[in-house]
Amino acid sequence: MLRPAPAPAVLTALMRAARGGRRDREPPGGPRVPSFCSAPPPQPVVAAKEPFPVELKAGKNYSWCSCGHSQRQPWCDGAHKRAAPGLAPVRFSPSRDGPALLCACKRTRSPPYCDGSHRGDTVRAAPGPPRA
């Protein structure tokens, strides 16, 4: 079975037409796409360098401040909306009554509960949040 040979001139013309007549190649690494997120994501500030001891009630809904800017630590007061847009409170409902240690350094890997991250050098060297 014979197949006709492709016409290189025709294919080249079609490819140029698809690119709008440009002959240039894409930049290394692929085409450049404008970024809508040019700034790095906001980072939380250290609210305190020790955890907050609290008494929690089973089934009650809580909003833990994850940005560190709240004046009602460890609870969210909405300060993230102006001071750290992009960060949101952690909403949780404990399964049992009792005391708990909630993270104050905002670096925990198990939010909202303290995991000892405040003992690290980066938290110890960090300044506390500016208070009004």
For the chain, residues with pLDDT lower than 50 are: none
Query: How is residue 96 annotated by DSSP?
Result: S
Closest listed residue to residue 113, CA positions, set 64, 72, 71, 77: 64
Query: How is residue 23 annotated by DSSP?
Result: -
pLDDT in tens, 15-29: 677 666 555 555 565
The reported pLDDT for the residue numbered 36 is 64
The reported pLDDT for the residue numbered 28 is 60
Model's pTM, two decimal places?
0.68
Q: How far is CA 96 from CA 55, 62, 112, 117, 124, in A?
A: 11, 13, 15, 24, 32
8 A C-beta contact, residue 76 and residue 63: yes
